[in-house]
Amino acid sequence: MTSDTAYVWVWLPGESEPVVAGRLRKDGNTHSFTYGISYLERETHFPLYLPELPLIRGVLRPDATWEAHGSILDAGPDYWGRRVILAQHFGRLTGESDTDDLGLLTYLLESGSDRIGALDFQASPDEYVPRTFEHHASLSELLAAADRLQAGELLTPVLADALLRGTSIGGARPKALIDDDGHTQIAKFSSTTDTYPVVKAEGIAMHLAAQAGLDVAPSRVVAAGERDVLLVDRFDRGDGGSRKMMVSALTMLALTPMNGHYASYADFADVIRARFTKPDHTLRELFSRIVFNVIVGNIDDHARNHAAFWDGSLLTLTPAYDICPQPRSVGEVNQAMAINRAGDRRSRLQVCELAADVYHLTPTEARTIIDELVSVVETGWDDAATLVGLDDLDRARLRGGAILNPSIFYRD
Ligand SMILES: Nc1ncnc2c1ncn2[C@@H]1O[C@H](COP(=O)(O)OP(=O)(O)O)[C@@H](O)[C@H]1O
Ligand SMILES: [Mg+2]
């Protein structure tokens, strides 16, 4: 199906059914958005995101180099979801498969409707038909299907549907959506090409983050046959079928995946000061998350791995997610986002400490947070590794490798 238009539907805060908000249309290399008159004239409505989508009549065009407005892209499939849809279109993935082979609207209109945040995309402005992809595949079957897809093999229609359901969740790693007692959870898989136990490492970091008192999505590592799966509770759903609008830090910083390497924590702190509920509390939480990422060696902490809920006027930081220690062959590494205003991104606790004022903290407060987080990881590491069943060899590699690497304690 090729189309040059998709309709954007939105769950207004607290509502169980979506309403149509406007039209997304291919516009050269980008996609422009126009609010529907019916939406503008509703008694209750909210801007999908500001400043990029103000509630006005007429065509809202993003920068011509953007694929679409950031808040729209945040709701769409990313690398993993796009690869699943590619495989569905062309039968299977090959060495030549490229996510540019299909257009954004195809990805938006063919991915599952149970997507991140409060938006969905439909071919019609009048009738809402969710793409639910019901399935009863077990975790092991989903995992095997993800392996087959990545290996360029064909999938049965049932398993293809099961994977399509999870295309509504962004990110690059293989994943699926599963049901647990009426609640959906994100299931994150290991990949056949992994060189270290990614799922266990993420499980350990998420567990320690919770122990350290960070606001983090609850998660657990479960076995599926011989493999591990990380199940993460979703935080973007409310009571009675309602959905919470969410945008990434990339969108808050008015950046795109193309120029996302300019994203910095210091700029994000400015957004928090200006536009967030509870700015001081949030700055402290953000500082703690940065320090924690340094301690556990999560250097994939890019601007799509931070997000906030959007209520139409203010932002509220979401719980933390995707805290995944990364293996390293060298000692000192860099965080994905700069920690201070000078652009320093070295993964050192001293860099965090000296940036305290950016996060509205005194040097003593920053030092206390750092010491407490180091202590929680040092003392909690063994139990956390046992909890996820990490063997001795991987313990030796992870502790002192990604987690608590000696280089994080270097000082100038
Ligand atoms: N617990 C959660 N609740 C709601 N949305 C989530 C949650 N965890 C992740 N997300 C969303 O799903 C996206 C992909 O998840 P993530 O864990 O980052 O996967 P990946 O490791 O592939 O990057 C995130 O960028 C975020 O938008
Ligand atoms: Mg991610």
pLDDT digits (tens, 9 = 90+) for 344-394: 999 999 999 999 999 999 999 999 999 999 999 999 999 999 999 999 999
Per-residue 3-state assignment (H helix, E strand, C coil) for the chain: CCCCEEEEEECCCCCCCCEEEEEEEEECCEEEEEECHHHHCCCCCCCCECCCECCCCCEECCCCCCCCCHHHHHCCCCHHHHHHHHHHHHCCCCCCCCHHHCCHHHHHHHCCCCCCCCEEEECCCCCCCCCCCCCCCCHHHHHHHHHHHHCCCCCCHHHHHHHHHHHHCCCCCCEEEEEECCEEEEEEECCCCCCCCHHHHHHHHHHHHHHCCCCECCEEEEEECCEEEEEEECCCECHHHCECCEEEHHHHCCCCCCCHHHCEHHHHHHHHHHHECCHHHHHHHHHHHHHHHHHHCCCCCCCCCCEEEECCCCEEECCECCCCCCCCCCCCCECCCECCCCCCCECCHHHHHHCHHHHCCCHHHHHHHHHHHHHHHHHHHHHHHHHCCCCHHHHHHHECCCECCHHHHCCC
Ligand in closest contact with the CA of 306: 1
Mean pLDDT within 300-320: 98
178 C-alpha to ligand 2 centroid (Å): 18
Instruction: Grade residue 183 by pLDDT with cuts at 50, 70 and 90.
Output: confident
In a domain, 132, yes or no: no
Q: Which two tokens stand for residue 284?
A: 């402290």
**Percentage above 70 pLDDT, the chain:** 100
Query: Looking at residue 327, what is its pLDDT?
Result: 87
Q: How many other C-beta atoms lie within 10 A of the C-beta of residue 396?
A: 11
CATH at residue 144: 3.30.200.120
In this structure, the answer to whether residues 297 and 267 fall within a common structural domain is yes
In this structure, the answer to whether residues 251 and 387 fall within a common structural domain is yes
Whether residue 181 has pLDDT greater than 90? no
In this structure, the answer to whether residues 227 and 320 fall within a common structural domain is no
In a domain, 133, yes or no: no
57 C-alpha to ligand 1 centroid (Å): 33
Q: How many domains does the chain have?
A: 3
* Atom number in ligand 1 closest to CA 234: 3
In a domain, 14, yes or no: yes
412 C-alpha to ligand 2 centroid (Å): 31
**Percentage above 90 pLDDT, the chain:** 93
In a domain, 168, yes or no: yes
Residue carrying structure tokens 């945008």: 247
- Cα–Cα distance between 263 and 253 in angstroms, integer? 7
In a domain, 131, yes or no: no
Contacts with 17 (C-beta within 8 Å, 6 or more apart), sequence order: 11, 128, 241
In a domain, 130, yes or no: no
In a domain, 9, yes or no: yes
In this structure, the answer to whether residues 262 and 373 fall within a common structural domain is yes
Q: Which of 66, 92, 122 lies at the terminal end of a domain, its last residue?
A: 122
Query: Looking at residue 2, what is its pLDDT?
Result: 60
In a domain, 127, yes or no: no
Site to probe by mutation for ligand 1, drawn from 73, 111, 116 as the one with most ligand atoms within 8 Å of Cβ, is 116
In tens, the pLDDT along 246-263 reads 999 999 999 998 899 999
* Atom number in ligand 1 closest to CA 232: 1
In this structure, the answer to whether residues 362 and 255 fall within a common structural domain is yes
Residues with CB under 5 Å of ion ligand 2 are: 171, 305, 322
In this structure, the answer to whether residues 105 and 153 fall within a common structural domain is no
In this structure, the answer to whether residues 19 and 151 fall within a common structural domain is no
In tens, the pLDDT along 122-157 reads 999 999 999 999 888 999 999 999 999 999 999 999
Query: Looking at residue 325, what is its pLDDT?
Result: 97
Whether residue 162 has pLDDT greater than 60? yes
Whether residue 1 has pLDDT greater than 90? no
Mean pLDDT within 77-87: 96
Instruction: Grade residue 195 by pLDDT with cuts at 50, 70 and 90.
Output: confident
147 C-alpha to ligand 1 centroid (Å): 20
Q: 304 in ligand 1 pocket by Cβ < 6 Å?
A: yes
Site to probe by mutation for ligand 1, drawn from 79, 184, 186, 326 as the one with most ligand atoms within 8 Å of Cβ, is 186
In tens, the pLDDT along 48-80 reads 999 999 999 999 999 999 999 999 999 999 999
**Mean pLDDT of all residues in the chain?**
96
Query: Looking at residue 194, what is its pLDDT?
Result: 87
Whether residue 397 has pLDDT greater than 80? yes
Mean pLDDT within 394-412: 96
In this structure, the answer to whether residues 212 and 336 fall within a common structural domain is no
Q: Which two tokens stand for residue 4?
A: 């040059």
Q: 39 in ligand 1 pocket by Cβ < 6 Å?
A: no
Mean pLDDT within 271-294: 98
Whether residue 114 has pLDDT greater than 90? yes
- Which residue's CA is minimally distant from atom 7 of ligand 1? 234
In this structure, the answer to whether residues 193 and 266 fall within a common structural domain is no
- Which residue's CA is minimally distant from atom 9 of ligand 1? 321
Query: pTM of the prediction?
Result: 0.97
Give the CA distances from residue 253 to residues 29, 30, 337, in Å, rounded to whole numbers and listed in that order: 22, 19, 12
In this structure, the answer to whether residues 255 and 397 fall within a common structural domain is yes
Ligand in closest contact with the CA of 202: 1
User: What is the span of the domain harbouring residue 87?
Assistant: 5-122
In this structure, the answer to whether residues 395 and 273 fall within a common structural domain is yes
Whether residue 410 has pLDDT greater than 80? yes
CATH at residue 287: 1.10.1070
Q: Which of 179, 199, 233 lies at the terminal end of a domain, its last residue?
A: 233
Whether residue 219 has pLDDT greater than 80? yes
In this structure, the answer to whether residues 280 and 393 fall within a common structural domain is yes
- Look up residue 259 and give its DSSP letter: T
* Atom number in ligand 1 closest to CA 324: 21
Query: Looking at residue 180, what is its pLDDT?
Result: 82
